[in-house]
Amino acid sequence: MEQYFADCYDRFSELHKDIKKSIEGLSVEALDWVPAGNTNSINVLVAHLTEAEKYWAVIVAGNQPSDREREKEFETEGLTEHDLVSRLDETLGDIQTAFEEFAFDSLQEMRYLEKRQMSVTKGWAILHALEHAAVHLGHIQLTVQLWEE
């Protein structure tokens, strides 16, 4: 794996470790809890985060077709801590496999997203996935703090 992608993979890995630490020991009730009317449960946040990571860092960056159903991610419920950890680990494995195939000189390749009617570079897609994951880690941490209160 080229160094740039190894560095990005390391950041995804650290974010996942922080998520795992945040949800450690939480019950399904806590993972499904919604702190306010227009917020998401931890189960939804992890489901959405992992699907978004796969979409941006693997599918878009890898120029692969997508069958992602984003809306379904927000219906996720009933998952256990173990289920979420498995999902995080599987996603990290998918990212690692993709990054092992990527070349640094391909970061400026353009990707056209039909559903969004926009173009992005491969590099932008990877950075967006990292940014998105970090934002949702913060949401998860805040939700845990509120649950514990």
The tens place of each residue's pLDDT in the chain, 149 residues long, gives 999 999 999 999 999 999 999 999 999 999 999 999 899 999 999 999 999 999 999 999 999 999 999 999 999 999 999 999 999 999 999 999 999 999 999 999 999 998 889 999 999 999 999 999 999 999 999 999 999 99
In the prediction, which pLDDT does 114 show?
Answer: 87
| Other CB atoms within 10 A of residue 48 CB | 19
| Distance in angstroms (rounded) separating the CA atoms of residues 12 and 108 | 21
From residue 86, alpha-carbon distances to 74, 82, 96, 101 in Å are: 18, 6, 15, 23
Tell me the CA end-to-end span of the chain in Å, nearest whole number.
43
Q: What architecture is domain 3-148?
A: Up-down Bundle (1.20)
In the prediction, which pLDDT does 35 show?
Answer: 95
In the prediction, which pLDDT does 112 show?
Answer: 94
pTM of the prediction? 0.95
In the prediction, which pLDDT does 81 show?
Answer: 98
In the prediction, which pLDDT does 93 show?
Answer: 98
